[in-house]
Structure 1
């Protein structure tokens, strides 16, 4: 989405930067891992297809994507590629049943040594807060669709006060939702204080 092409979001442990063409080769290496593809419900793409996907994510009005950097690694040598640990996305759509504006959230910590360190939690909170601050997106709620076996992600979003609304056995998928209410926004403000800078 062009909304975030010049936006960098800084947390304490992570930095979110727009997904650029230079990030694609490492991202493509991540997605050659069959387990990661299963957990993220992703298809295997060629490198050329991955570049095309990156361009689509940059240009489409219904997708918001950031690459997650380990802030400590990035501070050491200012190399985004070596500091890449994952990505976070929002897919925007209108709920046909309720006419609500929905952002479907995704988070992936791809580097094995970066897991279990709180990067995914902070990065997702930064993304949720950034999207909630964009009043022109007119979001009513966030939702996630998670593989039933992905207990780490299920627990993560439950800790964000998302609640299960559907379970589809044929897709092996659980849907959790979080309406954007004044109470929840107040809770979110207590969890994370993003610094938004030009990229």
Structure 2
């Protein structure tokens, strides 16, 4: 599965480790992952990159790990660190592989409408609710670059 994730051109997955002390990364616990699922080609009019994050280990939730991981992933994928309030990536980091960079306006999130913490997390990253999908009990959020959500207000 790891090989497929690494080689799949429609998916970008970063594993989230908790670095609690100095040492080899192999000794750090895996606490979650952050993903982009690319639907179509960036040149397509209806292209979108669906963002997902999971902090699987409950002891690591509510610590800001998800926000930091999303900022890094979205900055990397879009080449727009300032859009996500993230410091620029180091000059030593190679440029993203094609089809990146992705336009921030192509980013979409689908979240359970009852998952208020996730909705708030993405609002901090300048996503706003654009649609309620009642059949799936979820909201669709898109990057709007500073717009405010009216969901739940």
Question: TM-score over 0.5 for the alignment?
Answer: yes
Indicate whether 1:139 and 2:87 are aligned. no
Measured at CA, do residues 114 and 138 of structure 1 come closer, stay the same or move farther in structure 2, by a change above 3 Å?
A: closer
Q: Which has the higher contact order (CA 8 A, sep 6+)?
A: 1
Partner of 1:157: 122
Unaligned runs of 5+ in 1: 1-50, 188-199
Of 70, 73, 85, the match for 1:124: 70
Query: d(CA) in 2 for partners of 1:112 and 1:136?
Result: 34
Query: d(CA) in 1 for partners of 2:23 and 2:100?
Result: 35
Measured at CA, do residues 139 and 131 of structure 1 come closer, stay the same or move farther in structure 2, by a change above 3 Å?
A: same
Aligned residue pairs: how many?
Answer: 125
Structure 2 length normalisation: TM-score?
Answer: 0.72
Query: d(CA) in 2 for partners of 1:143 and 1:119?
Result: 20
Query: d(CA) in 2 for partners of 1:56 and 1:174?
Result: 29
Structure 1 length normalisation: TM-score?
Answer: 0.56
Point out the structure with the larger helix share.
1
Indicate whether 1:65 and 2:13 are aligned. yes
Q: Give the secondary-structure state (helix, strand or coil) at the position aligned to 2:71.
A: helix
Asked if 1 retains the 8 angstrom alpha-carbon contact of 2:129 and 2:139, the reply is yes
Asked if 2 retains the 8 angstrom alpha-carbon contact of 1:69 and 1:80, the reply is no
- Aligned residue runs from structure 1 range 173-188, under 5 A: 173-178=138-143, 184=145
Partner of 1:92: 38
Asked if 1 retains the 8 angstrom alpha-carbon contact of 2:16 and 2:33, the reply is yes
The more displaced of 126-135 and 103-112 is 126-135
Query: d(CA) in 1 for partners of 2:25 and 2:18?
Result: 10
Indicate whether 1:170 and 2:118 are aligned. no
